[in-house]
Amino acid sequence: MMSIQTALRFAPEVLLLAQGGALGLKAAIFDVDGVLTDGRIYIGEQGESFKAFSTLDGHGLKLLDQGGITPIIITGRDSPAVRRRVADLGLRHAVYGAKDKYAVAQPLLDQLGLQWSEVAAMGDDWPDLPLMTRAGFACAPAQAHAEVKAVAHYITQAAGGHGAARECCDLMLQACGRYAALLNGHLDTLDGGVR
């Protein structure tokens, strides 16, 4: 089997932070608007909303799941577009229309048997702060609000909707030592499964 060296590099201190509590992140919560999208909402003549998602982010979320870190979507808005994207990615945990993100996150983490130290959170605005300040690792996209950046352990180079979530996923996978195996698994299988 062919093997390649990883080209992606993060600073050692960032990798240490991204390992999470007890060196083991087990789940990661992602906001949608401003994280998985660029934050803009297009509204059609009939009132329907449209959003643009990055394929880089989608693949990153699938890789995160393959790497043993459960992706969770918690979004303040609900739309058919977001539900469709979550379904297309095969994500098992999503909460839509959450007015209080902490109030819905805590019971979900309890159900999954997770502590906040085992969870990462990525958000871009004030509604995400209760999750980010409790999480073992907090990440924000480049265009996030100043108060969110102030609590983030890592701020991506990419903007929301343009690969920011993928950058965060790659960082977490490298920190837990699973990135290289996932990368090399893509060299000889069609589905990217690790052998």
φ/ψ of 62, rounded to 5, equals -65, -40
For residue 21, the one-letter residue type is G
- Write the DSSP symbol of residue 109: H
- Write the DSSP symbol of residue 94: E
With beta carbons less than 8 A apart as the criterion, state whether 160 and 35 touch.
yes
Q: What rounded mean pLDDT belongs to the chain?
A: 91
- Write the DSSP symbol of residue 126: G
Query: For residue 136, which of 77, 176, 165 has the smallest C-alpha distance?
Result: 176
Strands (E) located in 57-186: 70-74, 93-95, 119-122, 137-140, 154-155
What is the enclosing helix (H) or strand (E) of 28? Answer: strand 27-30
For 118-145, what is each residue's pLDDT tens digit? 999 999 999 999 999 999 999 999 999 9
pTM for the full predicted model: 0.91
Q: What is the mean pLDDT of residues 87-96?
A: 97
Q: Is the pLDDT of residue 189 over 70?
A: no
Hey, what are 13's tokens?
A: 């201190």
With beta carbons less than 8 A apart as the criterion, state whether 18 and 25 touch.
yes
